Amino acid sequence: MNSAQWIEKSDRCIMKTYGRYPIVPVRGEGCRLWDADGKEYLDFLAGVAVNNLGHCHPRVVKAIQEQAATLIHCSNYYQIPQQIELAELLCSHSFADRAFFCNSGAEANEAAIKLARKHSRDTTGKPERYGIITAAESFHGRTMATVSATGQEKVQRFFDPLLHGFTHVPFNDIAAMASAIDDNTCAVMLEPIQGEGGVNIPDATYLQQVRELCDRHNLLLILDEVQVGMGRTGKLFAHEHFGITPDIMTLAKALAGGAPIGTMLAREEIARAFVPGTHGSTFGGNPLVCAAALATVRTILEEGILNRTEEMGEYLLGELEGVAAKFPKLVKNVRGIGLMVGMGLQIPGGDIVKKGHELGLLLNVTHDTVLRFVPPLTVSKAEVDAMIAILESIFAEVEI
Ligand SMILES: *Cc1c(COP(=O)(O)O)cnc(C)c1O
């Protein structure tokens, strides 16, 4: 079937939860995708920061193939060696002592919210101490609790009553955070760098000040690294840039190279609040996804991916600054850490994305006016150059 035929069929049977573009990717390799008509695309979205090692990385493919032929699923009623090894690997490279596995970013954040509430109740004896402060323009997922945590009206609209206990404050505003804390607050939950909210990078000291506030008020600091973790910023976890550690961290997106996984990591004295019966997941951390994740994490750590990300991030940022200088009427600013890069536009970016598609470039616009560049961390200079050439040709056409 060609793309048009797939799109027509989709229109008849798929729920309309996404404003999908008329592109039907059927094969991928590295930074390239091919659609059902054989058209090639340069992929600067990478499954929304999921395919950090590019499409179909040989080590991930091999791990999935071997594990699929050995044991796909068995249940968390039993011990799962791949899950144990993955937990050990993630803990040995982070502040955390223990991991819980689930299937998505929203589920990881759900787990974090439940753990924070239970920990608060267990340690203070106050059931009313369940408040969690999150940021305006944040994004934490699409389940009811994570929609309630998310600081975007467009995500919450139509679904009230929301889950009680979330307060939203402006991101990167420590005074607002301080004044939102009350006797019933148990945690602060933040993305170290906001992704869906428009690639918002906080001031160097913001997260340190949040950490200090949390320590002073005995609050847990939950960092949602679902999008910016796993090497995206040039460090394994984004909070490493800011010289702090959280109490709980959530990961998902890139963790298993495209296989569906989420994890919630915590220090021992907090993890202790979860005991048999308090939380769980049928699929969470099954042998197949954990084998994929092990191959992904090991590749990131063993093949110099973090250094490469830092280097290519600087190169991409420099090239985009060049574009910004050439098109000052179109581009407001460029910002980024590693390969988490945003270009603020003076105009909505939807048409630029569509023109990119015509020219074989997959790009994304978030928060209406921010072009988000999250290519595979394995992207080459030649691929960045090719993307820049396409972008400049689009901008040249747009600018009157
Ligand atoms: C994508 C994302 C989520 C939600 O992850 P899902 O796997 O779609 O549930 C949560 N938080 C952040 C920061 C994200 O970018």
State the average pLDDT over residues 246-257. 98
Q: Choose the catalytic residue: 35, 100, 171, 224.
A: 224
Architecture of the domain spanning 59-302: 3-Layer(aba) Sandwich (3.40)
Mean pLDDT across the chain, nearest whole number? Answer: 97
Evaluate: CB of 224 within 6 angstroms of ligand 1. Answer: yes
pLDDT tens profile 59-93 = 999 999 999 999 999 999 999 999 999 999 999 99
CB atoms within 10 A of CB 253: 28
Alpha-carbon distance of 35 to 44, in angstroms, equals: 15
- Every domain of the chain with CATH number 3.40.640.10 lies at 59-302
Evaluate: CB of 340 within 6 angstroms of ligand 1. Answer: no
pLDDT tens profile 33-65 = 999 999 999 999 999 999 999 999 999 999 999
Confidence of residue 400 (pLDDT cuts 50, 70, 90): low
Q: Is residue 276's pLDDT more than 70?
A: yes
pLDDT tens profile 124-157 = 999 999 999 999 999 999 999 999 999 999 999 9
Q: Is residue 201's pLDDT more than 70?
A: yes
pLDDT tens profile 164-190 = 999 999 999 999 999 999 999 999 999
Q: Is the peptide bond before 161 cis (omega within 30 degrees of 0)?
A: yes
- Whose tokens are 């144990």? That residue is 84
Domain 3-56+304-397: which topology? Aspartate Aminotransferase, domain 1 (3.90.1150)
118 flagged as catalytic: no
What's the pLDDT at 176?
98
State the average pLDDT over residues 220-243. 98
Q: Is residue 23's pLDDT more than 70?
A: yes
130: CA distance to ligand 1 center in Å? Answer: 22
Helices 287-302, 305-326: crossing angle, 10 deg rounding: 70
Q: Which atom of ligand 1 is nearest to the CA of 227?
A: 15
DSSP string, 9-65: HHHHHS-S-S---S--EEEEEBTEEEETT--EEEESSHHHHT-TT-BT-HHHHHHHH
Evaluate: CB of 139 within 6 angstroms of ligand 1. Answer: yes
